[in-house]
């Protein structure tokens, strides 16, 4: 019996390849990595390296282009553009507020001048009332135009947000 296992007389030859089981295990692990490639914390370059290694792919370095360090340049540019857009909207609002302040001051000065003219007898009350009515009508029209512009701007902003699938 012991002679059956002597090295010189042994005629037993393995038929199965023992590395096949480990290759199948490597490919199963590679499939797990591949299934998680979309996760934001996943290092995609290392994931690809491991998948290609498990599949016994040669020249992996020629296939994989390293990702640049830092944030995505497109996302960064979009964020910067959004900041500039918000600053511009703020500047526009400030300009409108300044314009309204100047208009209000001009109205006060005009009213004071008309009041002085009326008190001095150079302007009668009917003419002063007509002037004030016209001035108020002009202010109302200007306010309605600004309101319509703001509503249009807001509607456009909401439409763009809806196109992008963002919350308004």
State the pLDDT at residue 167. Answer: 52
CA dist 89 and 113 (Å) reads 36
CA dist 168 and 157 (Å) reads 8
Angle at 41 between CA 36 and CA 42, to 5 degrees: 45
Q: Give the gyration radius of the chain's Cα atoms.
A: 40
pTM for the model stands at 0.34
Taking the CB of residue 54, how many other CB atoms lie within 10 A of it? 19
CA dist 27 and 20 (Å) reads 11
Phi, psi of 166, rounded to the nearest 5 degrees? -95, 160
Could you list the pLDDT tens digit for every one of the 168 residues in the chain?
Answer: 677 667 777 666 767 777 667 888 888 888 998 898 888 888 888 899 999 998 888 998 888 887 666 677 777 788 888 888 888 888 888 888 888 888 888 888 887 877 777 777 766 777 777 878 888 888 888 888 888 888 888 888 888 877 777 654
């Amino acid at each position: 019996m012991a002679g059956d296992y002597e090295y010189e007389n042994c005629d037993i030859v393995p038929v199965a390849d023992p590395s096949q089981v480990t290759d199948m295990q490597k490919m199963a692990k590679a499939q797990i990595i591949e299934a998680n490639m979309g996760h934001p914390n996943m290092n995609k370059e290392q994931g690809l390296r491991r998948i290609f290694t498990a599949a016994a792919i040669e020249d992996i370095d020629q296939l994989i282009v390293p990702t640049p360090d830092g944030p995505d340049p497109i996302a960064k540019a979009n964020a910067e553009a959004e900041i500039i857009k918000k600053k511009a909207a703020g500047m526009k609002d400030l300009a409108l507020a300044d314009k309204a302040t100047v208009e209000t001051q001009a109205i006060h000065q005009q009213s004071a001048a008309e009041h002085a003219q009326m008190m001095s007898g150079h302007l009668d009350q009917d003419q002063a009332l007509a002037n004030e009515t016209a001035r108020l009508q002009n202010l109302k029209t200007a306010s309605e135009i600004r309101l319509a512009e703001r509503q249009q701007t807001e509607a456009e902003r909401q439409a763009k947000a809806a196109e992008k699938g963002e919350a308004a």
